[in-house]
């Protein structure tokens, strides 16, 4: 990958495909082998990946430590994004439930992240979820101060709504918004994209491969590990997985025509939507990382894009259970 994309108007430039690191430590069953994951992260740099996405809550702490150990020798070659905002006991790592974006907690979170990441600055600091108990102006002001102190370089939001984005951006320019976006989750296009375009904010889609479903490797008979959070995704219930095979079949038809994989087509479709979109597919496998990086070289035709646009209308099942949906800012 040699092409560069810009996130926001503050000079944050990255390769078109990033790497979401969460699955290396949590969320998708047992964590990957530490040495193997460290090797994979360094291989990603060799393949031209520059944006690496982690968070305090992944583990907690474990994923930041892994990313820090792997990338410390390559620090000047990479852009590291991490997040604060879930209420984690910063001494014990206990997840106390709920959200916490109080200014003092943000500062303490950042100091811990810097230690674990083995760096003296965070390239992109996201608020992981909007905390309704803390005005976004206070959050943005705290990050603005951290930028002034050199601990942070760019400010990001995750799963934030239009009003929150505007209010935060008025205090401290937002470089990137991170939210779920893929062929089978198109909601950001409706209200979010116009605001990002207006304000000059980049977009970083997480779960760009539909939590693995759009790769074509998951079907109704797939068994998820007991610790895999996909058990909580309604559209990945066994019945919905069977119904949603029509989505994968559509993607695979285009992939066959383009001599590519389903994952590459799904990622290339994202890259075709806007020049300021940088997806962060996650993986624990070297061949999947190579496959994902290869999507940057795939150019879809307008007819391909139009055909793929119909995928969302074929999807069965909700994005989240009610408990998780309640954390999304509107």
Instruction: For 233-282, write each residue's pLDDT tens digit.
Output: 999 999 999 999 999 999 999 999 999 999 999 999 999 999 999 999 99
Contact predicate 202/278, CB 8 Å: yes
Helix (H, G, I), strand (E, B) or coil at 206: strand
HSE, CB side, 13 Å, CA atoms: give it for residue 58.
Answer: 27
Task: Tell me the C-alpha distance between 75 and 137, whole Å.
Answer: 31
CATH topology of domain 5-325: TIM Barrel (3.20.20)
- Greater model confidence, 130 or 229: 130
Tell whether omega for the bond before 174 is within 30 degrees of 0, i.e. cis.
no
pLDDT grade for 1, boundaries at 50, 70 and 90: low
Q: What is the pLDDT of residue 327?
A: 76
Q: Can you list the pairs that 190-195 forms with residues at least 24 positions away whose Cβ atoms lie under 8 Å?
A: 191/161, 191/162, 192/161, 192/162, 192/165, 193/274, 195/162, 195/165, 195/166
State what percent of residues in the chain have pLDDT above 70.
Answer: 98
pLDDT at 196 over 90: yes
Look-up of token digits 């962060």: 280
Query: Which residue out of 58, 105, 126, 181 is catalytically annotated?
Result: 58
Task: Tell me the C-alpha distance between 285 and 62, whole Å.
Answer: 19
Q: Which residues pair with 86 in a beta bridge?
A: 99
H-type alpha helices, 133-207: 136-148, 162-171, 188-199
Count of helix runs (H) and strand runs (E) in the chain: 12, 11
Q: How far is CA 50 from CA 45, 53, 77, in A?
A: 6, 10, 7
- CA dihedral over 101, 103, 106, 112, signed as positive or negative: negative
Contact predicate 247/214, CB 8 Å: yes
pLDDT grade for 323, boundaries at 50, 70 and 90: low
In tens, the pLDDT along 84-118 reads 999 999 999 999 999 999 999 999 999 999 999 99
pLDDT at 80 over 70: yes
Element (H, E) at 7: strand 5-7
Task: Tell me the C-alpha distance between 167 and 137, whole Å.
Answer: 7
Does the annotation mark 58 as catalytic?
yes
Contacts (Cβ under 8 Å, ≥6 apart) of 194: none
Joined together, the tokens standing for residue 102 give 């109080």
Helix (H, G, I), strand (E, B) or coil at 157: strand
Q: What is the pLDDT of residue 322?
A: 63
Look-up of token digits 């996405």: 53
Statement: the pTM of the whole predicted model exceeds 0.95: yes
Measured at the alpha carbon of residue 202, what is the angle toward residues 250 and 172, in degrees to the nearest 5? 150
CA dihedral 106, 108, 109, 111 (to 10 degrees): 120
């Amino acid at each position: 990958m040699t092409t560069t994309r810009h996130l926001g108007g503050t000079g944050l430039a990255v390769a078109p495909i990033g790497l979401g690191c969460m699955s290396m430590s949590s969320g998708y069953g047992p964590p990957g082998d530490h040495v193997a994951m460290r090797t994979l992260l360094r291989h990603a740099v060799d393949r031209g990946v520059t944006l690496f996405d982690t968070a305090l809550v992944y583990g907690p702490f474990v994923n930041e430590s892994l990313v820090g150990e792997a990338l410390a020798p390559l620090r000047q070659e990479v852009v590291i994004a991490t997040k604060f905002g879930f209420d984690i006991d910063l001494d014990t790592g206990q997840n106390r439930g709920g959200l916490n974006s109080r200014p003092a907690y943000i500062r303490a979170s950042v100091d811990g992240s810097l230690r674990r990441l083995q760096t003296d600055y965070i390239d992109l600091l996201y608020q992981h979820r909007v905390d309704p108990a803390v005005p976004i102006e206070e959050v943005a002001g705290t990050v603005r101060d951290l930028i002034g102190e050199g601990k942070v370089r760019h400010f990001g939001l995750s799963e934030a709504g239009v009003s929150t984005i505007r209010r935060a951006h008025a205090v401290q320019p937002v470089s990137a918004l991170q939210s779920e976006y893929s062929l089978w989750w198109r909601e950001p296009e409706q209200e979010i994209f116009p605001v990002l375009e207006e304000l000059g904010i980049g977009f970083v889609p997480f779960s760009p491969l539909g939590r693995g479903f759009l790769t074509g490797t998951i079907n109704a008979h797939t068994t998820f590990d007991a610790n895999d959070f996909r058990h909580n995704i309604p559209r990945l219930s066994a019945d919905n997985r069977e119904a949603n095979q029509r989505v994968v079949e559509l993607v695979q038809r285009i992939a066959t025509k383009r001599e590519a994989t389903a994952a590459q087509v799904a990622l290339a479709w994202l890259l075709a939507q806007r020049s300021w979109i940088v997806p962060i597919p996650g993986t624990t496998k070297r061949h999947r990382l190579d496959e994902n990086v290869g999507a940057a070289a795939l150019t879809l035709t307008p007819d391909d894009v139009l055909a793929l646009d119909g995928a969302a209308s074929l999807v069965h099942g909700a994005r989240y259970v009610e408990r998780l949906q309640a954390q999304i800012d509107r």
